[in-house]
Amino acid sequence: MNRDASGVHYEGSAANRLWHKSAIGRIMSEDMIFLTNAEMLFCNEHRNIDLPSENWVTECLKLNPDLIEEYTILESLRKPGNKIMLSENSLNFDFNIQSESWGLRWPSDHHPRNEKPISEIRWFHSSCPLNIKELYQWCENVTKNERIAEVLIVDNELAVVTYRIQILSPKGDMPIPKKDDYIEINQIQGSIKLSNGNIFIPHDGQWAWENIGIPYTGGRILDEDMQNIINYFIAKEGESIDISTSIKLDLINRGLHPRPGFKYGSKWRCYDTALGEDHAPWLVVHPNNGPINWEEACLSSRLAAGVNKKWLYPIKNDIWNYISITRPPADSRWNNPIKR
């Protein structure tokens, strides 16, 4: 058994079996495979293969302080039966793996020699910063390859939780107001400025715009964002609007009904049908107040899942796009089997 800084060259009859049965390692010759250090640890724990030396783990940790986390992630994925090919072992295959991806995943009944991977994997420590724009680009590229974008998060006690990253386009069935509708609302007489900056617009008839304002006895309450939207349509052509107003207008133009999301730790909760017909399926965060690390992102996603909603983070390219960090189905939640 030869070793270098990145892994081990493992020889013997077991080498062939490790690859052909479990897709572990990278084939070097008929009776030799290359194992990354994380794979070597996995084989020691789960395939009864001796470590190269007594102090091998200590030596590897000096070279790669992430080794324990990498092994923990690998164990979480492989223990249920998944076949995992780490990115450095994919060099002999034309899988077009993204440079940011840590590995590729196959279900237990598939193998890299004759099937395509179903997902690309990244992992982060819970304290790692959340780079939402970079995550969006990675997810977009992975999705173009018809793969699932999977992220595994490990915390300080080596507990692992799985999330899926999706780019979503929320849509609703609410009527979309036109420019003339906003102008008509602005022309209603008798509006009253409230102490919190909202305005109360009195009306004694049927309010024609269900997704504009909060109903109250004898009128409608418009928050600052909605006031800004109205001002945008009566202002000069091409006038810019702030981020919050722009997102809310985009949500309305998608046929959604955005309401305050204060109770759910978000900026908006969005209904896709009229109020009372169903629960709001979306929670949308303001980008300026979004999570700054994976611990906060996981908390936001878990809170949303706890009330049967999907948590969305808006990202502006040419238009507003929405990225979702959600828990996968129960049969795809990879957790470390050994609690420490």
With 80 as the cut, is the pLDDT of residue 337 above it? no
Q: Spell 252-261 as b/e; 16+ CB within 10 A means b.
A: bebbbbbbeb
Domains observed in the chain = 2-169 (3.40.1350.150), 175-239 (no CATH)
With 60 as the cut, is the pLDDT of residue 237 above it? no
pLDDT of residue 1: 58
What confidence tens digit (pLDDT) does each residue in 257-291 have?
999 999 999 999 999 988 777 789 999 999 999 99
User: pLDDT-derived band of residue 340, with 50, 70 and 90 as boundaries?
Assistant: low
Q: Residue 270 and residue 211: Cα distance in Å, rounded?
A: 10
Measured CA to CA in angstroms, residue 122 lies from 100, 151, 248 at distances of 7, 5, 32
Closest alpha carbon to 126 in 301, 337, 328, 330: 301
Task: Summarize the confidence of residues 305-328 as an average pLDDT.
Answer: 93
How many alpha carbons fall within 13 Å on the CB side of residue 18?
Answer: 29
What confidence tens digit (pLDDT) does each residue in 14-37 have?
888 899 999 999 999 888 999 999
If you average pLDDT over each of 46-55, 117-126, 203-212, which comes out highest?
117-126
Q: Residue 293 and residue 263: Cα distance in Å, rounded?
A: 22
Radius of gyration of the chain from its Cα atoms, rounded to whole angstroms: 26
Task: Summarize the confidence of residues 305-330 as an average pLDDT.
Answer: 93
With 60 as the cut, is the pLDDT of residue 245 above it? yes
User: pLDDT-derived band of residue 2, with 50, 70 and 90 as boundaries?
Assistant: low
